[in-house]
């Protein structure tokens, strides 16, 4: 779970922006959600609005680096956000979000324990997020364009594919290049390793058709035959392409893939707390969990709800019976003081 252009600022910068924000502009009875594509799908939102009377307005992000700037510049417009686990700590430290009263979340104890206890949403004995969905940043290719199925991210540097390659417009492109260089501790790269990743991406630049920033943009590039191989939000863009009759194949390369977990968080100062908690309860119920699984193709945080609304085949395919699958991936981590270095490196790649 939802560019996913790197503009996330450090905690001190966030605090500075927060202090200069304009007055709140909430509307009571309406929930304004800053979230990923597919996280406010009509299949879940329409029944929720009808049942609760709470109207939902969604604004979509393309990257985790969008949350802090939009919250700081929005003057209190948003009530709920859904950042990934690598981006929650700065938001908590900046005071953008408030603690969750987990006693108000009926399905709380059914959420995977490892997610409930995650350091990304827990601070000083308080819980700041309700885990929602998780998955991998896999890789994807057009099946009819490859006689031999790719098994390595090195294929995205294949000179024969000039103009047919795409990468997500996100600092995580550096993670891809670093792994290709053999630097697997991707969230703790040294200056030398980060520079090597930047140079590797510069080498790839002539092969890139476009850096994709939204799910729909990547789908359109594949549908037009302009892109043959890319990274992807596993399960989502591939399902959208399948709906168009375009056969793509997802794969986890031998250099591994990143993993993510998204949580919903309540923006501090919302007057719509009642609607916010109703939404959180819906999000981790059967209707919310199976909506995101069916629409986005993501794994979900509540296996009890998933088991009640998924077929056995879907339950296994989404690793709901094996949450430790996430441990086999390189789960996103907060970059801390190194965030600016990674962001500057990625911006330098795109500026060339």
Structure confidence at residue 74 (pLDDT): 62
144 and 267, same structural domain? no
CB contact at 8 A, 264 and 2: no
Instruction: Read off the CATH number of the domain in which 117 is found.
Output: 3.40.190.10
Per-residue pLDDT tens over the stretch 255-289? 999 999 999 999 999 989 999 999 999 999 999 99
122 and 41, same structural domain? yes
249 and 281, same structural domain? no
124 and 250, same structural domain? no
Instruction: Kindly report the length of the chain.
Output: 352
Structure confidence at residue 75 (pLDDT): 56
Find, among 30, 23, 25, the residue nearest to 272 by Cα.
Answer: 30
pLDDT score of 290 more than 90: yes
pLDDT score of 200 more than 50: yes
Q: Across residues 34-63, what is the average pLDDT?
A: 95
Q: Across residues 116-135, what is the average pLDDT?
A: 96
Structure confidence at residue 258 (pLDDT): 96
Structure confidence at residue 25 (pLDDT): 46
101 and 188, same structural domain? no
DSSP letter (8 states) at residue 285: S
225 and 343, same structural domain? yes
Structure confidence at residue 6 (pLDDT): 37
143 and 243, same structural domain? yes
337 three-state secondary structure: helix
CB contact at 8 A, 96 and 13: no
156 and 113, same structural domain? no
Higher-pLDDT residue of 323, 87:
87
Structure confidence at residue 77 (pLDDT): 87
Residue 1 domain flag = no
Q: Is the pTM of this model over 0.95?
A: no
Domain that holds residue 93: 11-134+261-322
171 and 288, same structural domain? no
Structure confidence at residue 9 (pLDDT): 37
- Predicted confidence band of residue 76 (pLDDT cuts 50, 70, 90): low
- Measured in whole angstroms, the distance separating CA 137 from the mean position of its chain's CA atoms is 9
- The tokens describing 42, both together, are 């009509």
What's the mean pLDDT when you consider all of the chain?
91
Number of domain units in the chain: 2
What's the helix, strand, coil split of the chain in %, to 5? 45, 20, 40
Structure confidence at residue 27 (pLDDT): 54
Per-residue pLDDT tens over the stretch 5-45? 333 333 334 333 333 333 344 456 899 999 999 999 999 99
Q: Across residues 146-171, what is the average pLDDT?
A: 97
């Amino acid at each position: 779970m939802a560019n996913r252009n790197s503009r996330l600022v450090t905690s001190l910068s966030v605090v500075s922006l927060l202090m200069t924000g304009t007055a709140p502009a909430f509307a009571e009875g309406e929930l304004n959600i800053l979230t990923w594509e597919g996280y406010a799908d009509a299949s879940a939102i329409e029944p929720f609005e009808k049942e609760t009377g709470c109207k939902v307005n969604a604004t979509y992000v393309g990257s985790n680096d969008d949350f802090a700037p939009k919250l700081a510049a929005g003057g209190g417009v948003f009530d709920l956000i859904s950042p990934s686990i690598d981006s929650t700590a700065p938001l908590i430290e900046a005071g953008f979000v408030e603690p969750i009263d987990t006693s108000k979340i009926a399905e709380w104890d059914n959420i995977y324990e490892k997610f409930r206890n995650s350091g990304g949403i827990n601070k000083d004995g308080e819980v700041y997020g309700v885990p929602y969905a998780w998955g991998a940043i896999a890789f994807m290719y057009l099946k009819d364009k490859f006689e031999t199925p790719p098994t390595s991210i090195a294929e995205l540097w294949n000179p024969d594919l000039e103009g047919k390659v795409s990468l997500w417009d996100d600092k995580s492109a550096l993670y891809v290049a670093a792994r290709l260089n053999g630097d697997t501790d991707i969230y703790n790269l040294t200056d030398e390793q980060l520079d090597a990743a930047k140079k590797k991406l510069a080498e790839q630049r002539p092969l890139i058709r476009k850096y994709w920033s939204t799910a729909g943009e990547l789908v359109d590039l594949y549908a037009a035959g302009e892109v043959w191989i890319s990274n992807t939000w596993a399960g989502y863009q591939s399902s959208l392409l399948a709906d168009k009759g375009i056969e793509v194949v997802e794969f986890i390369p031998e250099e591994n893939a990143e993993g993510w977990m998204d949580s919903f968080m309540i923006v501090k100062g919302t007057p719509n707390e009642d609607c916010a908690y109703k939404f959180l309860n819906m999000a981790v119920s059967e209707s919310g969990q199976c909506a995101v699984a069916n629409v986005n193709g993501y794994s979900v945080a509540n296996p009890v709800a998933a088991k009640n609304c998924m077929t056995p085949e879907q339950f296994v395919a989404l690793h709901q019976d094996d949450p430790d699958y996430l441990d086999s991936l390189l789960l996103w981590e907060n970059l801390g003081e190194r965030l600016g270095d990674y962001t500057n490196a990625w911006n330098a790649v795109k500026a060339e």
